[in-house]
Amino acid sequence: MIFQFTYETVLGDVTFVEEDGALLVISMKSDHGGKVAETPLIKDAFQQLSEYLIGERKEFDLPIRMRGTEFQKRVWRALLDIPYGETRSYKQIAEAIGNPKGVRAVGMANNRNQLLIVIPCHRVIGASGSLVGYGEGLEMKEFLLRLEKSLP
């Protein structure tokens, strides 16, 4: 069964979606078709996100389920390897997954990431260091990167 619950955060409303003991979605969009219920996992995920947003957490310890193509999953796993407070370019991610010409495809995979912040696609930037392409808007990407840079 799929469960979802929405919380108000400093980012705005964030919805968490769980299925069979794993998080499927963390999103700014509110309706994901699940039964509205605050499960223990969803409550824990919200707690960990809240700790992240006030600088008390740098890594998440949550069971997640990535839904996507094998290529997308490779990209998302590479994103999980980007340390807190650091960034990588789309090109660096493409090279890390063994597809150096797949820069645009890496960008599309980032766009399909359904686990906001936990899979840190906000840490991926343009080759010139510019902030480009974030599904929740560049202001939020800048906010998250600033948050991570400002804390030890």
Active-site residue numbers?
121
Write the CA distances from 118 to 22, 23, 99, integer angstroms.
13, 10, 23
Burial (CB count <10 Å: 0-12, 13-18, 19+), residue 104:
exposed
Residue 82 has phi, psi (to 5 degrees) of -80, 120
What one-character DSSP code corresponds to residue 9?
E
Q: What is the CA radius of gyration of the chain?
A: 15
